[in-house]
Structure 1
């Protein structure tokens, strides 16, 4: 296989006739949450897209984009939207419980330990190292989520992405104001491309 070629994605299983069970949703999101040191997004994408093949990369990006515009933490929103998609409200609650429950118990225990040993210098240096690893995990998730844009060679998508990054990350503009401008532009660009290609 040439080095620049991209292997075709395996076909997704028919989830409409055999959706994941409520228990499977709970266990999958519990595993994500307990693996997700530095953030769950990386592990959520890996489990949903690569491991279980419950969504394509594009579907995951679209669902996660929707969750950005809902109030609350993005990955928590993703668990509710994703679980509800397959098992209704019960599935959403199961995915949410799996995502939030186990880490809450773990963090409560760690908080009790930290209250006694939090001033130890070695521990503080270790936490700095963990934050560096978290940044690396987030960067890897961003790169993998850009794969559908790379496959499509979506230049306009890259322009919008770069503009939003510059507005929020470099110029420090408020997120709501940037989204109020970026969302209509993104929708208009997507609509125009769809009309032009059809």
Structure 2
């Protein structure tokens, strides 16, 4: 999809229903479903806009996709849109998890259940990895962007630094590098 295709402006009902469907499809991790729905299915955002939203969602406290729902809702319908998108996203999972939690209380020592949960966790990791790879492919191929990607990966995966510390250091560095690159391009 090219960058001009994300021009769809959903109604309030479409916004609620879209995020409700994302929440319902999000078994094993909602991020892959959110990206596919918001970028490919509904065309509410371009790939770049989604990556920017995800970056913001990860920077802010709270669940990433919940933050995306709030920003997306506000973009299309102000604070009412935020409430509708967030409610749509969490309504079904809230009810389902509430029911499953009451059942899990009685069957938490089941070997079959614990093995099934391990399999579901592996599938969720695979979905998340596939989504991350799709997003990396769409990143700008600039040295500073790739450097930020690499630094973030090393800080989290190998050094196991705390996320808030990584954000506190790399966010201003990334903003500074982006500003510098923009100034350099405008001079040419």
Say yes or no: TM over 0.5.
yes
Give the counterpart of 2:111 among 103, 116, 121.
Answer: 121
Equivalent-residue separation in structure 2 for 1:139 and 1:13 (angstroms)? 24
- The answer to whether the Cα contact below 8 Å between 2:3 and 2:46 also exists between their aligned partners in 1 is no
| 1:10 CA drift (Å) | 7.1
Pairwise mapping of residues 70-149 of structure 1 onto structure 2 (< 5 A)?
A: 70-149=60-139
CA apart distance, 1:11: 3.5
**Rounded Cα–Cα distance in structure 2 between residues aligned with 1:65 and 1:12:** 21
In the TM superposition, structure 1's runs of 4+ consecutive aligned residues that sit over 4 Å from their partners are none
Q: Unaligned stretches of 5+ in structure 2?
A: none
Partner residue of 1:5? Answer: none
Equivalent residues of 2:3, 2:47 under 8 A apart: no
Shift of 1:26: 0.9
Whole-Å separation in 2 of the counterparts to 1:37 and 1:155: 36
Tell me the TM-score normalised to structure 2 length: 0.93
Flag the 1:166–1:33 CA change in 2: closer, same or farther, 3 A: same
User: Is 1:9 paired with 2:14?
Assistant: no
Distance 1:129 1:13 in 2: 36
CA contact (8 A) 2:19 2:88 kept: yes
Q: TM-score w.r.t. structure 1 length?
A: 0.89
C-alpha separation in 2, matches of 1:196 and 1:115: 59
Q: Which residue of 2 aligns with 1:35?
A: 25
Instruction: Work out the number of aligned pairs and report it.
Output: 186
- Kept in 1: contact 2:66–2:89 (CA 8 A): yes
Cα deviation code 1:72-128 (max 9, x no counterpart):
111111111111110001111000001111110011111122122222211111111
Q: Quote the RMSD (CA, aligned, Å).
A: 1.4
1:197 counterpart (174, 182, 185)? 185
- The equivalent residue for 2:52 is 62
1 CA distance for matches of 2:144 and 2:3?
Answer: 27
User: Structure 1: any 5+ residue segments left out of the alignment?
Assistant: 1-7
